[in-house]
């Protein structure tokens, strides 16, 4: 799976349009559990939301090369994630995807996935800023709002298979398309600013180097010059965001 496909695919950090077709076609009419209809999609529960993300996590961990805990990237992630087992009431679990792509994402179930390409580019505190930014999207409700929108606009009407509770078991193709619509669709400038603000507060609260939020964005801005294929295209103007973060350092 190439980077562009992945970026089209998913809600911690991003902003590419989801209008383009993907290889994973989704029949939204079969997504929800028995008795769940279009109206209910506007009031999806946290339990249902996390059930979908649990399924997505399993699928994407299987589809990507996960770094061994004893590998250089695995050991480094363990070090930088030390003390981050729980953040703002969200129990976090971390893994590294071994790929040169520069990326990271978070899900509402506490999943944090960091790409080795991002780790190779950034310092520990810069990575922590990215993690904080992704958590910010989750905590601000951007993830939940997107999954509700995906369901509403897809006219979900029919029941699917349920597993004990209300949440449905989604097919692999369904999970992929939902991941695209929820995790990687373009965030508004307001959403990006809100996630940045959360990340800045996160850095200060955890006594990390808050200036890393600026240097991380400056690195992304440099990478984005002349490139539309990188994950940077999923975030509005990293250079402008870096300037905005500078104003919050005092």
| Residues belonging to the active site | 134
Token readout for 250 is 């005092």
Long-range contacts of 86-91 (CB under 8 A, 24+ apart): 87/135, 87/202, 88/135, 88/139, 90/135, 90/138, 90/139
Tell me which DSSP letter residue 207 carries.
T
Nearest to 136, CA basis, from 198, 215, 61, 77: 198
Cα 202 to Cα 197: distance, rounded to the nearest angstrom:
8
Contact 168, 229 (CB under 8 A): no
How far CA 236 is from CA of 21, 25, 208, 220, in Å, comes to 22, 27, 25, 11
Element (H, E) at 106: strand 104-106
d(CA 74, CA 95): 7
Neighbouring C-alpha atoms within 13 Å toward the C-beta of 170: 29
Helix segments in the chain, DSSP class H = 3-8, 46-63, 72-80, 116-121, 124-139, 142-153, 172-183, 189-205, 212-224, 238-246
Q: How far apart are CA 94 and CA 82, in angstroms?
A: 10
């Amino acid at each position: 799976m190439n980077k562009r496909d992945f970026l089209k695919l998913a809600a911690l950090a991003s902003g590419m349009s989801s209008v383009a077709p993907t290889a994973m076609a989704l029949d939204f009419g079969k997504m929800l559990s028995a008795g769940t209809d279009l109206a209910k999609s506007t009031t999806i529960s946290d339990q249902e939301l996390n059930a979908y993300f649990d399924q997505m996590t399993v699928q994407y961990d299987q589809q990507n090369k996960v770094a061994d805990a004893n590998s250089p990237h695995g050991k480094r992630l363990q070090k930088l994630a030390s003390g981050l087992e729980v953040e703002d009431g969200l129990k976090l679990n971390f893994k590294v995807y071994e790929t040169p792509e520069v990326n990271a994402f978070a899900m509402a179930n506490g999943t944090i996935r960091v790409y080795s390409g991002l780790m190779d580019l950034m310092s520990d505190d810069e990575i922590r800023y990215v993690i904080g930014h992704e958590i910010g999207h989750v905590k601000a409700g951007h993830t939940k709002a997107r999954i509700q929108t995906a369901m509403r606009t897809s006219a979900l009407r029919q029941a699917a298979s349920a597993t004990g509770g209300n949440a449905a078991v989604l097919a692999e193709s369904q999970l992929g398309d939902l991941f695209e619509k929820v995790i990687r669709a373009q965030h508004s400038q307001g959403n990006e600013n809100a996630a940045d603000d959360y990340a800045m507060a996160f850095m200060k609260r955890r006594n990390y180097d808050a200036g890393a939020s600026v240097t991380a964005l400056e690195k992304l801005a440099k990478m984005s010059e002349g490139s539309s294929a990188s994950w940077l295209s999923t975030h509005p103007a990293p250079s402008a965001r870096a300037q905005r973060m500078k104003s919050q350092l005092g």
